[in-house]
Amino acid sequence: MIVYVGAVAVLFLFVVMMLDVDFAALRQGFLQYLPAGALIGVVFLLELVLIVGAYAIDPKLIRTPATNVAVAPITNTEAIGHVLYTQYFYFFQAAGLILLVAMIGAIVLTLRDRLGVRRQDISKQNARTQETAVEVRKVPFRQGV
């Protein structure tokens, strides 16, 4: 799982690096989203304080249930794979789909037209014939073009 998350993080890093994002334009609307971001940050901080505080008051509140089931001798990797691809299969696929949509959204939001950049025109490429693609020249013997 850690390798998967790391690979996705590296993928996003390279996507952002390749898109050449203009951070000055992104910072212009920063202050209008500050109150909502601060509210979400405070809510997360409160949740963390409640969890850590509950554990500090009574560590027995957070405990694993006792089981009497005999466990098969399998490796941790095999156990994680079994759980991910059986019980949490749909959640795992949904997380992958969300990451894909987020990557496509990042590309679409930061894609812009630049002047002076040559782009492919696929219709021109498909419409080419041998006569328009190849130019035959007569070159004199022992001379360059």
Where residue 118 falls (left for φ over 0; alpha for ψ -120 to 50; beta otherwise) is beta
The residue type found at 139 is V
* pLDDT at residue 2, as a whole number: 66
* pLDDT at residue 42, as a whole number: 96
* pLDDT at residue 20, as a whole number: 67
Which among 26, 4, 17, 43 has a CA at the least distance from the CA of 107? Answer: 17
* pLDDT at residue 67, as a whole number: 67
Q: Are 62 and 54 in contact (CB under 8 A)?
A: yes
In the predicted model, residues of the chain with pLDDT beneath 50 are none
Q: What is the DSSP string of 58-78?
A: -GGGS-PPP--PPPP---HHH
Q: How far is CA 121 from the centre of its chain?
A: 29
* pLDDT at residue 76, as a whole number: 87
Angle separating helix axes 76-86 and 89-110, nearest 10 degrees: 80
Express each pLDDT in 35-64 by its tens digit. Answer: 999 999 999 999 989 888 776 777 666 666
* pLDDT at residue 27, as a whole number: 75
* pLDDT at residue 31, as a whole number: 83
Contacts for 11 with CB less than 8 Å, ≥ 6 apart? 103
Q: Look up residue 136 and give its DSSP letter.
A: -
Structure tokens that stand for 28 in this block:
């212009």
> Measured between alpha carbons, how far is 137 from 6 in angstroms, rounded to an integer?
55
* pLDDT at residue 63, as a whole number: 66
